Structure 1
Amino acid sequence: MAGTQEFVEADNAEAIITRIEHKSRKIESLLKQSRPVEALKTALEGAPPKTRDERCKSATWIVVHRAIMAIKDVDGMFSSLDPEYYDILMK
């Protein structure tokens, strides 16, 4: 039974999508303020790494991708990320 709790259930997917939509608005605000690294960190915070729901994966990727595309110095961004954010980004 322990293995069944590792992945997000479909019932929770709607809640995750709602959180991602809220997060997307915050990211857009940060990007308008020319704070792309903070936008990326916001996108990565609370990312559900253990979900089988493709909608959640896709929605998460869209917000992360949007933040990354706004960053001009990608090498500098990687060096400024905390290891926890880097790990989430690589997953």
Structure 2
Amino acid sequence: MSSSAAYPDADENLEAIITRIEQKSRKIETLLKQSKPVEALKTALEGSPLKTRDERCKSANWIVVHRAMMAIRDVDGMFNSLDPEYYDILMK
């Protein structure tokens, strides 16, 4: 997983970033319906637009991450199952 590969440039077309977030959102909803909340969170964190300064992109991505997080009942178990790279993305 490399978030910088998915969003290599802060000046990238913002509509393309929003489109990818929308696609990620649909995938997360599918995982949540399959009762896979930790996988949904990992998917939400992958490819997060960390370098963009556009508030619309940041907000759209946060909504997706928040949706996945709210479905997790065992927070301690979730943190134990995440790789360190996901912690870094989550904190950013």
Root-mean-square deviation (CA), in Å? 1.3
What is the alpha-carbon distance in structure 2 between the residues aligned to residue 26 and residue 54 of structure 1? 23
* Structure 1 residue ranges without an equivalent (≥5): 1-5
* Length-normalised TM-score, structure 1: 0.89
Partner of 2:26: 25
Partner of 1:8: 10
What is the alpha-carbon distance in structure 2 between the residues aligned to residue 54 and residue 72 of structure 1? 29
| 1:48-71 deviation digits (Å, cap 9, x = unpaired) | 111100011001000000000000
Q: Secondary structure of 2:13's partner?
A: helix
Which has the larger share of helix? 1
What is the alpha-carbon distance in structure 1 between the residues aligned to residue 63 and residue 53 of structure 2? 16
Fraction of identical pairs, as percent: 82
4+ residue runs of structure 1 moved beyond 3 angstroms?
none
Partner of 2:66: 65
Aligned residue pairs, count: 85
Per the TM alignment, residue 7 of structure 1 is displaced from its structure 2 partner at its CA by 5.8
What is the alpha-carbon distance in structure 1 between the residues aligned to residue 80 and residue 71 of structure 2? 16
Partner of 1:82: 83
* Structure 2 residue ranges without an equivalent (≥5): 1-7
What is the alpha-carbon distance in structure 1 between the residues aligned to residue 17 and residue 61 of structure 2? 9
| 1:29-81 deviation digits (Å, cap 9, x = unpaired) | 00000000000000000101111000110010000000000000011101110
